[in-house]
A and B are shown apart, each in its own frame.
Chain A
C-alpha cells in the first residue's frame, strides 16, 4: 500500500493548510467524540474507584476538569493553529531545529508505544472471558501466567499486522463503531446503576434518592484500595484536565486545528471530553464499583469480564473494538514518529516493529493498572514544548527577540528550547521527589517554569548570535 494511502492527511505537512482544505465544525465534533471514547476509558473509570473517589469529587471534578481541557484547546491550541496552520512538528522544527525535533519524536513515539500497550492489555482481557487463565491483578507489575502472555501476544500481533497493512480498513471500522460504542458505554452505566438499585433494594423516586445511592454505595469515598493514593476533588479535576495535556497544552493538536476555519472550533473537543472522559469514565466506574460491592476482595480491573457481565457479547465486542481501533492509530503514529528519525526505513517495517514493542509492553499489566500515573507522566513529558510554542508565538517578539529562531539562525538545535525542556523536566522531577508535589499536579507549575525558562534562555542564546546570522522571516507570529 502506498504511503499516501496510509496517511489520509499527509498533505500540507510543510506548508500552511490552504483555505480550500479547511474543515467544518462537525468534522471536529466527530473526530473528538470518536478519538476519546477509547478502550482505555474502561480502565480509567474503575481506577478512580480504586483510588477511593467520592460521588461529588468524581462528578463535579470531571465536569470542571473536562471544561478546563476544552478551554485549553480553545484558548491555547486552536488560536495558534488557525493563525499559522502548521503541524506541531513543522512549527517545532522552525523553533527548535531538526535534531531537537528528532529527540521530541523519539520521546513521543516511546510514550505512544506504551499507551498502545495499555490498549492491547484492555483488548486482551476480553480473551480471558472465553479461555480460562489467570488474569493480572490490580497491583501486578509483571505478566502472571503463560495464558496472559500468549493472549496479549496474539492480540498485539494481530493489531500490529493490521496497523502495518491495513490502516485504512481499521480506520473505517473505527468510524462505523464510534456512535455504537458511545451507546454501549451509556448502556454500561445504565445496567450497572440498575444492578446497584436491585442489589441494595433502593427505591429511586427523586434526585435525593439517586444521590444517596451514588454517594453511599457507588462512589463512597474513604480509603482507597491498597497501593493507591486517595483521590480528592482536585485529583479528579487535574487528571481530567491534564490527561490529554500533550494534545492541548502540549500543542500536539496544532496538527488537527490547523484545518479549522475559526479558533472557536476548539470547543468541539467538548464532544470527546463529555462523552468519553465523563460519561464513559462514570459508566465504567459504576461497573467496577458494583464488582467491589459484590466481592470487596475482587479488586481486579479487567474491562473484558466487566463489560461481559453488564452487556454480554455486545459489551465484549465493545471492549475489543475500543481497544483495537484506538491502539491502531496510536501504533501508527508511534511508527511515524520513529520513521521521522530514520526516514530511509520502510513504514511497514517500522509500524510492525512498533506494534510488537507495544504488544510486549502490553504484557506488563503495570502500565494499564497504573494508567492514571502513566497518562500524567506522558502529559508532563511533552508539556514544556507546548510552552515553548506558546511563548514563541505570542510573547517572544514583544520582548525584542526572534521567533522561529532555529529556522532564522540556521541551527538544527536551539539550546534555548532544548534546555527549557530538560530543565523543566528536572524541576518537575525535583518537585515530585523532594517537595511532595504529586505527578497529577506538577505540570501546572511546570508550564510556568518552562515559559519563564524559554524567555530567559532565549535572551541568552540570541544575544550570543551575531545579528548578521539571523534571517528575517516573512511569517509573522502573534506577538
Chain B
C-alpha cells in the first residue's frame, strides 16, 4: 500500500512540473497551467503526508 501512495505522490510531483513545461513549449495556456499546478499541489500534499516521515500507521516505512 505504501508503494502505491508513494507512486501517486511522485506522479503528483511530476504533474506539478508538467503544466509549466507544456506552457514553455507553447502547448498550454498559462491560466490552464496554473490551475493544473494547484490541483497537483493539493494531491502532492494530501498523499505525501500519508507516508513521508511516518513512523506509525498504515503507510509507515517498513522496519529494517
Chain A residues engaging chain B, CB cutoff 8 angstroms:
172, 175-177, 179-180, 183-184, 186-187, 190-191, 193-195, 311-315, 317
Q: In the complex, which of the residues B21, B26, B34, B52 contacts A314, with contact meaning CB atoms closer than 8 Å?
A: B34
- Contact call B44/A180, Cβ cutoff below 8 A: yes
Residues of the B chain whose Cβ atoms lie less than 8 Å from the Cβ of A186: 17, 20
- Contact call A180/B45, Cβ cutoff below 8 A: yes
- Contact call A191/B16, Cβ cutoff below 8 A: no
Scan residues 1-36 of chain B and give those whose CB is less than 8 A from a CB of chain A: 13, 16-17, 19-21, 23-24, 26, 30-31, 33-35
- Contact call B17/A183, Cβ cutoff below 8 A: yes
Chain B residues engaging chain A, CB cutoff 8 angstroms:
13, 16-17, 19-21, 23-24, 26, 30-31, 33-35, 37-38, 40-41, 44-45, 48-49, 52-53
- For B20, B41, B44, B53, the residue with the greatest tally of chain A CB atoms inside 10 Å of its CB is B20
Q: How far is the CA of A315 from the CA of B45 in the complex (A)?
A: 14
Beyond A180-B41, A314-B16, A317-B41, whether A191 also contacts B53 by CB under 8 A is no
Residues of the B chain whose Cβ atoms lie less than 8 Å from the Cβ of A313: 34, 37-38, 41
Q: In the complex, which of the residues A179, A195, A317 contacts B13, with contact meaning CB atoms closer than 8 Å?
A: A179
Residues of the A chain whose Cβ atoms lie less than 8 Å from the Cβ of B41: 180, 184, 313-314, 317
Residues of the B chain whose Cβ atoms lie less than 8 Å from the Cβ of A191: 20, 23-24, 30, 33
| Sample of 12 A–B contacts (CB below 8 Å) | A175-B53, A180-B13, A184-B37, A184-B41, A186-B20, A190-B21, A190-B23, A191-B20, A191-B23, A195-B30, A312-B31, A315-B37
Q: How far is the CA of A317 from the CA of B31 in the complex (A)?
A: 16
- Contact call A311/B20, Cβ cutoff below 8 A: yes
Residues of the A chain whose Cβ atoms lie less than 8 Å from the Cβ of B23: 190-191, 194
- For B17, B21, B37, B52, the residue with the greatest tally of chain A CB atoms inside 10 Å of its CB is B37
- Output the nearest chain B residue to A318 by Cβ-Cβ distance: B41
Given contacts A172-B53, A176-B52, 6 further A-B contacts (CB under 8 A): A172-B52, A180-B48, A187-B20, A191-B20, A194-B26, A312-B37
- Contact call B45/A176, Cβ cutoff below 8 A: yes
- Output the nearest chain B residue to A321 by Cβ-Cβ distance: B45
Residues of the A chain whose Cβ atoms lie less than 8 Å from the Cβ of B34: 311-315
Q: How far is the CA of A180 from the CA of B42 in the complex (A)?
A: 11
Q: In the complex, which of the residues A190, A312, A317 contacts B24, with contact meaning CB atoms closer than 8 Å?
A: A190
- Output the nearest chain B residue to A312 by Cβ-Cβ distance: B34
Q: Which 6 A-B pairs have the closest CB atoms?
A: A312-B34, A187-B20, A314-B37, A190-B24, A190-B20, A314-B41
- Contact call A187/B17, Cβ cutoff below 8 A: yes
Beyond A180-B41, A180-B45, A194-B26, whether A312 also contacts B35 by CB under 8 A is yes
- Output the nearest chain B residue to A178 by Cβ-Cβ distance: B52
Residues of the A chain whose Cβ atoms lie less than 8 Å from the Cβ of B30: 191, 195
Chain A proximity of B14: nearest CB distance (Å): 8
Q: How far is the CA of A312 from the CA of B23 in the complex (A)?
A: 14
Residues of the A chain whose Cβ atoms lie less than 8 Å from the Cβ of B26: 194
